[in-house]
Amino acid sequence: MQYFTDTEKFIDLREVNRAIEAAFADHGRGHVQMPPKIYITLPEGDFRTMPASLPSLSLTGVKVVNVHPGNPARGLPTVMALIIILDIATGMPVAIINATKLTDMRTGAAGAIAAKYLSPKKEIVLGLIGTGRQAEAQYRAISRELEICEIKCWSRNSLHAEKFAREIKDYTARSVPVEKACDCDVLVTTTPSREPVVMNEWVHDGTHINAIGADAPGKQELDPLLLRRGQVFVDDIAQAAHSGEINVPLKRGIFTPEEIAGTIGEVVIGMKRRERPDQITIFDSTGLAIQDLAIAAIAMRKGTVIDLPFP
């Protein structure tokens, strides 16, 4: 068995985008095995187990990932992850991968692919709600698919937003009030909020939204009126209904499963699409185990390897 580390140093974001795009296509065609992720709730956070099989890459395995919002105060990442790859023929563990930074990258790539297919514009003003690690992953991945003219960012802590904007060197970036950040072409939300932070009246027609932060039951970032107003595409219907942006509106009867426009995989393979240029589109991203297998395949080709004999 092998342990892979330092993989993110050798990975090109365009390669990650293409790998995630292919995994979504496999999902859209029904060519994967992937039950919804399982949550274990802990006093200060949770951890999830995410098993999957991706036949197109001859890979099967599981990711274990935590979410502990208080970790930054301890000097730790909010999210940390480990991927275990199994031999398909025998079930023997063949690789363990440090997937903490890979998780950021594959989630950023998911947003980039959604923006590629659903944004009606190829030159965009990008709005960021939340200015943590995932906000950075999103704008970097999206920049490989669309031309970013300007970045407007907002955080509940204005000092964080100002620092984030200053550290962006490749684009014009500025910290703005939340409603101004929503005045954009592509809007990305990456907060841990349990109540809406983006209101319907702040979002203009034709905007594409990547709703990234709602990844557990009870979380939501968007005014439910936005869901009713726009086309909602999910990464996986069962998982999004349980823990995505739509989970709270579904439980409250504000939104129904029949209103889901489709999956991002169906968009990638051309079965579903944006209805018209002035339509609002929303990508409800919960993070799929097949994304982890797709980026694991890249990591296993490029990472630093430590042999760990097993059994």
To the nearest 10 degrees (0 to 180), the angle between helices 100-118 and 289-302 is 120
Q: Which amino acid is at 70?
A: G
Half-sphere exposure of 132 (CA within 13 A, CB side): 18
CA 220-171-112 angle, to 5 degrees, is: 45
* Residues 68-86: b if buried by 16+ CB within 10 A, e if exposed: beebeeeeebbbbbbbbbb
Q: Can you tell me whether residue 41 is helix, strand or coil? A: strand
Rounded distance between C-alpha atoms, residue 54 and residue 59, angstroms: 5
Within 10 A of 290 (CB to CB), how many other CB atoms are there? 27
Question: Among 214, 256, 249, which residue's Cα sits nearest to residue 235?
Answer: 214
Query: For residue 232, which phi and psi values (nearest 5 degrees)?
Result: -105, 120
Pairing of strands 38-42, 173-175: unpaired
Give yes or no for a contact between 35 and 288, defined as CB atoms under 8 angstroms apart.
no
Is the omega angle on the peptide bond into residue 72 within 30 degrees of 0, that is, cis? no
Rounded distance between C-alpha atoms, residue 97 and residue 237, angstroms: 28
Tell me 33's DSSP state.
B
Q: Which amino acid is at 100?
A: T
Largest Cα–Cα separation, the chain: 59
Catalytic residues: 63
